[in-house]
Structure 1
């Protein structure tokens, strides 16, 4: 409860929760709107909308990160919430499919700018590591609860009103988020001078790919996407076509996945006070790979009442593995960047993680239609194993906070070498927390 004693964090968390539930209502309402406009082709419309969403996330987030330090962050977040509220209010009045696609681009562009900017604010208002870890767990918990409860809330609304009112509820959520953000004291981002627009746009991804532990996180993003796509894309068909169960059981199996994530989110703050992020996240990858192997085994079984409880256990295992991987990511990002680069690095994580989903979604959707679950999940398992192997190779087991290194040229900031030992006319050696920045354009090799 000490976490919620922070007024600014409390208001930001409230903003996140109401915006999440607004987004969840939009997901339900968009499906019904697509059916109203396209009928039997509603699935194709929704599939295209999801693809547009992912492409927008991948391309817009780095650009937004490049300009996140150019405007007051509170003003930026409020403006983006207002844009999202306005777009959602327009959606009930569209009468053409192409209009849905256009509005989705605007809506998801605002979300692609809002989410990483919001995430980069938290380390600044919660400088204490333990408090920040609790905030990460709370955010994961909120996201999972939204997934579980938004359909229930939508069903309650639809029992009384037309689905068009779901858009009004979504807009109210975004307006509520804007009001809560407006009531907080958010420090502005440190302004970084990086030359051209291209330099600023690619800064986060360049820092990300130059940092060994972040390349490891990228591999883990692929593990989460490959295994998670089984849950998000294939659950409906697996439950109804393979297990021959009801739509209510679809919701129950998805809830089982969410429960696994929630339990981990509740346990992780204490766990991360004793165990390094790398060990926790690789454990999560192992749990995900085990869950995928169990899912493949399940897909080969043609009958048996045991398949349903087994599926519940496997989906919960996948949820737990997802929580183990995703919850500590913010800690790793904060550790790996200077304060002024946080908007760019959070935008890079947002973009690259969604690129992994963009790769996994079509495999889970299209290949399962043509080749069945066993083949599809085996291909996704290979993707996940590739990501896990990349992480083990990229993220060194010995990953100290302080790194001794040698500067072979004067630093961009001469004051940076004040405490350095000059070992040769053109060599300076010192030790400090190492991140990629203007003074350190690449990661040092051992002894360098």
Structure 2
């Protein structure tokens, strides 16, 4: 007799983690809008350049510090690590309320993102440990919704708080959300981030695994695509709305909300779709982001920008979910904290380039030219992989055999017959075969 799998929403540990993450991310959404407006208040038309540098600082901190998150969680426990991060970020974000110089923004950005560099990979590593195999794909989609809810509720609420208390008040509201998040985490049992073994507790294990397994390397490629489109959206929008279109602070908030609405739509579509549809959505994500960038530059108006940013958000979300699926399917429980920490760090390298590049181009040229440049960069990155995917696609059965061994995702569709790419070492080729029938390479 099969016992039905309990629904994800009856999982109390997941509920607390999820809502703690949602609350803190909504607060971060408030701050993201306020940060762009703060930069515009301080330097006017150079706001995109300041925002680009600030976000680049975020990436540097993440790349340098996130790989240590697994070791911190091993030492102090996942719950204590996340709670301490929330308290620290609450204190730091309050400092933005008093900023009067650009260098204040840069200094506070270092401290704020140090907390995020520790919190986020620990949170991601804990989720597989509190959910079952059946629940985890749904938890991934909900986790993406949690992230993107910040891009909807944050900017939407920012439009209200700006009208009532000014954009600096958003920083105070963000501090309160971090405290609420910490309170929710206090109710969790003590969480170990998947209890690493000694052989897999080193800082270098996660990084070595990311480069040593082709499935994990693929997650870095997906992250590179999202960093091109996402970096431009996050940096260039404020100057386009406030400078070139001369619209209000509220218009900027709604433009960023459209980006989040598209992300939530993408997460919902991916969560309800089957495996074959998942593959189609992943293949369509980069073209959707490319179209969004090109159309935003071509139409050069507010209304088309809202539609374009919704498509960009959907594409970014879908690639993010696929990356998380690959991480979970190709890592063991005991090594997962270090792999998630390494991925969180390495996957942000592209953002470290796209943020300052977008800021420089928008400031030195204009929004239209910059949008075309980023669309071209995305095409250059994505086109070779689209061709490779077509050439490598192969049909074969799923039964394991010693003559043809390769990793299969835990989220492959049930049954024996399926389609996916494969490669042997550094050689890549395609041919139909059925497991159990020896064949030569």
TM superposition score normalised by structure 1: 0.77
Q: Where does residue 323 of structure 1 map in the other structure?
A: 317
Structure 1 position 275 matched with structure 2 position 311: no
Q: Where does residue 148 of structure 1 map in the other structure?
A: 152
Please list, as runs of the form range in 1=range in 2, the aligned pairs for 1:99-138 lying within 5 A after superposition.
99-129=104-134, 131-138=135-142
Could you tell me which of 171, 180, 183 is aligned with 1:167? 171
Aligned residues of 1:364 and 1:380 also touching (Cα < 8 A): no
Q: Where does residue 433 of structure 2 map in the other structure?
A: none
Q: Where does residue 415 of structure 2 map in the other structure?
A: none
Give the match's secondary structure for 1:127. coil
In 2, the alpha carbon distance for the partners of 1:10 and 1:37 equals: 40
Q: Where does residue 226 of structure 2 map in the other structure?
A: 224
For these two proteins, the number of residue pairs brought into alignment is: 406
**Alpha carbons of structure 1 residues 400 and 156: separation in structure 2 relative to 1, 3 Å:** farther
The root-mean-square deviation of aligned C-alpha atoms, in Å, is 3.7
In 1, the alpha carbon distance for the partners of 2:387 and 2:176 equals: 43
Cα drift, residue 402 of structure 1: 7.7
**Alpha carbons of structure 1 residues 433 and 340: separation in structure 2 relative to 1, 3 Å:** farther
In 1, the alpha carbon distance for the partners of 2:126 and 2:314 equals: 27
Please list, as runs of the form range in 1=range in 2, the aligned pairs for 1:235-384 lying within 5 A after superposition.
235-236=237-238, 244=245, 246-247=247-248, 250-271=252-273, 274-275=274-275, 280=278, 283-293=281-291, 295-296=293-294, 299-300=297-298, 311-368=305-362, 369-370=364-365, 372-373=369-370, 375-384=372-381
Could you tell me which of 91, 114, 124 is aligned with 1:86? 91
| Structure with larger Rg | 1
In 2, the alpha carbon distance for the partners of 1:393 and 1:252 equals: 38
Aligned residues of 2:293 and 2:375 also touching (Cα < 8 A): no
In 1, the alpha carbon distance for the partners of 2:145 and 2:321 equals: 9
In 2, the alpha carbon distance for the partners of 1:297 and 1:162 equals: 32
Deviations 1:58-91 (A, max 9, x none): 1111122343322211111111111111222344
Please list, as runs of the form range in 1=range in 2, the aligned pairs for 1:170-185 lying within 5 A after superposition.
170-185=174-189
Cα drift, residue 347 of structure 1: 1.1
Cα drift, residue 315 of structure 1: 3.2
Answer with 48-57 or 225-234: which moved more: 225-234
Q: Where does residue 7 of structure 2 map in the other structure?
A: 2
TM superposition score normalised by structure 2: 0.78
Cα drift, residue 186 of structure 1: 4.3
Cα drift, residue 161 of structure 1: 2.8
Aligned residues of 1:62 and 1:201 also touching (Cα < 8 A): yes
Deviations 1:98-117 (A, max 9, x none): 34322221211111010010
In 2, the alpha carbon distance for the partners of 1:257 and 1:72 equals: 35
Aligned residues of 2:65 and 2:117 also touching (Cα < 8 A): yes
Aligned residues of 1:285 and 1:321 also touching (Cα < 8 A): no
Cα drift, residue 210 of structure 1: 1.2
Give the match's secondary structure for 1:70. helix
Give the match's secondary structure for 2:198. coil
Structure 1 position 385 matched with structure 2 position 382: yes
In 2, the alpha carbon distance for the partners of 1:431 and 1:38 equals: 54
Answer with 258-267 or 113-122: which moved more: 258-267
Aligned residues of 1:404 and 1:431 also touching (Cα < 8 A): no
Aligned residues of 1:285 and 1:388 also touching (Cα < 8 A): no
**Alpha carbons of structure 1 residues 149 and 298: separation in structure 2 relative to 1, 3 Å:** closer
Cα drift, residue 386 of structure 1: 5.6
Give the match's secondary structure for 1:69. helix
In 2, the alpha carbon distance for the partners of 1:430 and 1:296 equals: 42
Q: Where does residue 22 of structure 2 map in the other structure?
A: 17
**Alpha carbons of structure 1 residues 95 and 233: separation in structure 2 relative to 1, 3 Å:** closer
